[in-house]
A and B are shown apart, each in its own frame.
Chain A
């Protein structure tokens, strides 16, 4: 199971980076979204995957899922959600004000 998840995370990373290297702004933002999904899956995998086990350690429970990665992912998801929405608004404004969403044309020069 971990093996499949690792490959999946890898695919998400590669597609994310491919999109990140595009010129169109929206594609770049989708790329960051894919990368963050990859990272989150990765954290989950790193805490060992077990089906149907409680994320809790009490008396009587001997086999349990590690609850910490889930807490970490939750925090990380909220953060990346916030940043992505900010980025979308920012990209919208920037492309409107600058009149283009092509990164090639958004380079800029020294004296502005």
Chain B
């Protein structure tokens, strides 16, 4: 038992509350938020190192032993994702003053931001299914606050759809938990995993598992439940889009990864085959969406969807290599999606429009932005030696080892199309004849926007070039996930 597991939740939660009280003093809030984010990142990195050396840390809240009380489980997977979350949070908090209006900054942006980070970290850390629902709601509440920030016409319209779909899937989540509770009589994940093996009617558990999958698939934007995602994600401020794109869908994928490696692994033949087909469709439809529009923000938002497909593919193939591919891709995608949304925010800011047909020649005025975007496109598409390549390599190797040829081919085709959709932005937006700079006065602010993105990109490059260095950790997480008994023993201490 160690209180360290709660640290990544408590620190941003407190920060969010403190910042809410002094919201009018923008300068103080700004500096305070930046300092707290960096401190939080360092603290989380330290906890991560502790976990890496000494194994999972488990906090039984209120001193109630495992199956009865609510527990927080800081294992290597959770801590890796919490660490990534905090890296993105730091980049966003430094980007925010450049991109938000004074009004938006004043009206609780930083509070909602910290609550979002707390909710996401909580969802990664919890070892209790109902508590997962609660943390989902915490992060969703914060995201509702963020998405309406600014009060624009389009924004209000899109946020209604966003709130509605999430409310509906939350209610489905509660209902599904009720189903599971009536079958196994517990909401503790480790105890569920034990009791699932003992239940005689495995059919009903598979049904409940599929229901859970649909709940998480709505959050993660898996085909056919991705339709709500693109528009709400592009309507708020770029920094909010970056937080959403980087963190929210990934919480859904994490939940699928956790539930279907730990609890519902009894009918792999049925559930995981379903995942593979849905992953293929997700990749194809997402990438078609990305190719169908000239709106740069929408292109990036659609590019979230094939990435989700890649991660689901790894879960579907369900071997050690493919799971490690999923985890690698998860970390990579969180960082690169954050970077891309911020980059596109800067691009739209300097171009003054999000319509690709009205842009052109921006690289003459903003070379740093242009080349960073080019690099980010290569990272996203998975060109070696960047991080996307390593993730995809592991996924494809896992697929080939299990003779899943169809999904491997679809994955390769959609990678190519992703590259095409990204390069299209680069060619149409940055290349071309040197035209007069539409907004010369925006150059200084654009330079300030560039460096938080540069930090994220350098992490992404590090993740690719230093793969040798990260891979052992990722592999040990995959081994750990494939053997649920380790999780069960560490929580229930039998």
- A43 CB to nearest B CB, Å: 4
Decide if A43 touches B178 in the complex (CB within 8 Å): yes
Q: How far is the CA of A80 from the CA of B295 in the complex (A)?
A: 35
Decide if A35 touches B153 in the complex (CB within 8 Å): no
Contact of A83 among B141, B158, B293, B354 (CB under 8 A): B141
**CB-CB nearest in chain A for B173:** A39
| Residues of chain A lying within 8 A (CB to CB) of residue B163 | 83, 86-87, 90
Decide if A35 touches B181 in the complex (CB within 8 Å): no
Q: How far is the CA of A25 from the CA of B168 in the complex (A)?
A: 15
Contact of B174 among A43, A82, A108, A112 (CB under 8 A): A43
Interface of B is mostly: helix
Interface of A is mostly: helix
Query: Is B480 interfacial (CB 8 A cutoff)?
Result: no
Decide if B156 touches A98 in the complex (CB within 8 Å): yes
Contact of B171 among A35, A93, A108 (CB under 8 A): A35
Known: A39-B175, A86-B144, A110-B293. A28 touches B157 (CB 8 A): no
Q: How large is the interface on A (under 10, 10 to 19, 20 to 34, 35 or more residues)?
A: 35 or more
Decide if B175 touches A90 in the complex (CB within 8 Å): no
Within 8 A of A (CB), among B111-147: 130, 133-134, 137, 140-141, 144
Known: A39-B171, A46-B182. A108 touches B158 (CB 8 A): yes
Q: How far is the CA of A91 from the CA of B161 in the complex (A)?
A: 10
Within 8 A of B (CB), among A80-100: 80, 82-83, 86-87, 90-91, 93-94, 97-98
Known: A80-B171, A83-B163, A111-B355. A94 touches B144 (CB 8 A): no
Within 8 A of A (CB), among B151-178: 151, 153-154, 156-160, 163-164, 167-168, 170-172, 174-175, 177-178
- A70 CB to nearest B CB, Å: 12
Q: How far is the CA of A35 from the CA of B173 in the complex (A)?
A: 12
Q: How large is the interface on B (under 10, 10 to 19, 20 to 34, 35 or more residues)?
A: 35 or more
Query: Is B187 interfacial (CB 8 A cutoff)?
Result: yes
Query: Is B148 interfacial (CB 8 A cutoff)?
Result: yes
Contact of B164 among A28, A36, A38, A69 (CB under 8 A): A28
Decide if A39 touches B174 in the complex (CB within 8 Å): yes
Query: Is A79 interfacial (CB 8 A cutoff)?
Result: yes
Known: A43-B174, A108-B231. A94 touches B164 (CB 8 A): no
Decide if B154 touches A112 in the complex (CB within 8 Å): yes
Query: Is B390 interfacial (CB 8 A cutoff)?
Result: no
**CB-CB nearest in chain A for B159:** A90
Q: How many A-B residue pairs have CB under 8 A?
A: 105
**CB-CB nearest in chain A for B131:** A75
- A5 CB to nearest B CB, Å: 12
- A44 CB to nearest B CB, Å: 9
- B166 CB to nearest A CB, Å: 8
Query: Is B107 interfacial (CB 8 A cutoff)?
Result: no
Q: How far is the CA of A28 from the CA of B175 in the complex (A)?
A: 19
Q: How far is the CA of A93 from the CA of B179 in the complex (A)?
A: 37
Known: A36-B171, A72-B130, A75-B130. A91 touches B160 (CB 8 A): yes
Decide if A32 touches B167 in the complex (CB within 8 Å): yes
Query: Is A54 interfacial (CB 8 A cutoff)?
Result: no
| Residues of chain B lying within 8 A (CB to CB) of residue A55 | none
Decide if A110 touches B160 in the complex (CB within 8 Å): no
| Residues of chain A lying within 8 A (CB to CB) of residue B167 | 32, 36, 80, 83, 87
Decide if A69 touches B181 in the complex (CB within 8 Å): yes
Q: How far is the CA of A87 from the CA of B231 in the complex (A)?
A: 18
| Residues of chain B lying within 8 A (CB to CB) of residue A108 | 154, 157-158, 231
Decide if B151 touches A93 in the complex (CB within 8 Å): yes
- B44 CB to nearest A CB, Å: 27
Q: How far is the CA of A87 from the CA of B160 in the complex (A)?
A: 7
| Residues of chain B lying within 8 A (CB to CB) of residue A43 | 174-175, 177-178, 181
- B255 CB to nearest A CB, Å: 17
Q: How far is the CA of A69 from the CA of B177 in the complex (A)?
A: 10
* A–B complex contacts, Cβ < 8 Å, 10 sampled: A38-B171, A39-B172, A46-B178, A68-B181, A69-B178, A86-B141, A87-B160, A87-B163, A90-B160, A98-B153
Seen from chain B, the residues whose Cβ lies within 8 Å of a Cβ on chain A are: 130, 133-134, 137, 140-141, 144, 148, 151, 153-154, 156-160, 163-164, 167-168, 170-172, 174-175, 177-179, 181-182, 187, 231, 293-295, 298, 354-355
